[in-house]
Amino acid sequence: MGLKGKKRLCAALAAVWTAFCCAGCSAAPKQRYQVTYMELFDTVTAITGYAESEEEFNREAGRIHDELEAYDHLYDIYQEYPETVNLCTVNRSAGETLTVDQRIIDLLLMAKEIDGMTGHRVDAMYGAVLRIWHEAREEGILHPESAKVPERAELEAAAAHTGFGLIEIDPEKRTVRLTDPEASLDVGALAKGYATQKVAETLPEGYLLSVGGNVSATGPKPDGKPWVVGIQNPDAGEQAYLERVEISRGAVVTSGDYQRYYVADGVKYHHIIDPETMYPGEKWRAVTVITEDSGTADALSTALFLMDREEGQALLDRIGGEALWIAPDGAIVQSPGLGDWLRK
């Protein structure tokens, strides 16, 4: 064999050896892992993702947990935490100017925008009224035999201490002040979705984060397939779904009357209070919203729950997204483009 032939043979053998080594050293396919936490935002949080090892996933899940916990503590209106100025501190210090974390400023600025956008249906400064309902619900759950409905006069008196005109927010100084000692913040319609979105923005591609009905996807699964998110049947338990949404990136959020409620005199009173009536909304059983941003979807699902179909669709068109409404009689109403998201 001549010199040129030997060179060609060596080159061919080298190519085969390189291909063999590359095939043998290729990364193992990522495995699916999931972890569930029960203490964050007083609800169930599930983190699902793909990683090369359980150790790698657990590190990422631990980071996600810690970030969500930080948001949970900052946005808690019922409990204070050591060395933390949170929304509970703001409420208890009405009249004082407090320096707060930037994450509180960001949430409140978004809440103020949402308040105007929804015609005050989603009002983070409606805490004076919502506190009365919260106390009635807690008492009704603990002592159902003596459950009571708040008196209208009490609600009307509290409503006089609501609205964004009663809060001063200074983004540059990072300060907040409630100007009315009877006013209080309640971010229940916003906080979980907002925190979910902010944390989701820090996640690797292809994770699914669910925080109490606020679901955010950061990309498709490694095989390119979308995630499947069920829309629950309000009357049939958590494992019964009316529809299934396929989503690779974005958020799916549901607001409904079937989880946080109590019964008084045989009537169910849920937690979504309509500022126009000061009583639980009666137009829908549940509303599911699909949009790019979990914080927006959280606010929209509450707003649409309190609006009629036409007004809700107009708001949806203005902000962007799709929705599914479930009426009190069980009828299902869909926005025009929702079918593109439903699993066939």
* pLDDT digits 0-9 by tens, 114-171: 999 999 999 999 999 999 999 999 999 999 999 999 999 999 999 999 999 999 999 9
The span from the CA of 147 to the CA of 258, in Å, is 18
The span from the CA of 145 to the CA of 12, in Å, is 85
Amino acid at 316: L
SS3 category, 215: strand
Q: Residue 108: which pLDDT band, with cuts at 50, 70 and 90?
A: very high
Asked if residue 190 has pLDDT above 80, the reply is yes
Asked if residue 195 has pLDDT above 50, the reply is yes
Give pTM, 2 decimals: 0.88
Kindly state the average pLDDT of the residues 30-35. Answer: 94
Cross-strand pairs, 47: 35, 209
Q: Residue 235: which pLDDT band, with cuts at 50, 70 and 90?
A: confident
Instruction: Tell me the percentage of the chain whose pLDDT exceeds 90.
Output: 86
Half-sphere exposure (Cβ direction) of 218: Cα atoms closer than 13 Å: 19
The span from the CA of 342 to the CA of 344, in Å, is 6
CA 163 to chain centre: 23
What per-residue confidence (pLDDT) applies to 71? 98
User: How far apart are the two ends of the chain, measured CA to CA in Å?
Assistant: 64
- CATH architecture of the domain with residue range 31-340: Roll (3.10)
As to burial, measured by CB atoms within 10 angstroms (0-12 exposed, 13-18 middle, 19+ buried), residue 242 is middle
312, 306, 299: which is closest to 338 by C-alpha? 312
Cross-strand pairs, 324: 288, 334
What per-residue confidence (pLDDT) applies to 27? 56
216, 231, 226: which is closest to 333 by C-alpha? 231
CB atoms under 10 Å from CB of 19, counted, come to: 10
What per-residue confidence (pLDDT) applies to 125? 98
The structure tokens listed for 249 are 């990136």
Asked if residue 29 has pLDDT above 50, the reply is yes
What per-residue confidence (pLDDT) applies to 237? 63
The CA–CA distances, whole Å, from 85 to 27, 72, 169 equal 46, 12, 15
Picking from 154-158, 257-261, 263-267, which range would have the lowest pLDDT averaged per residue? Answer: 257-261
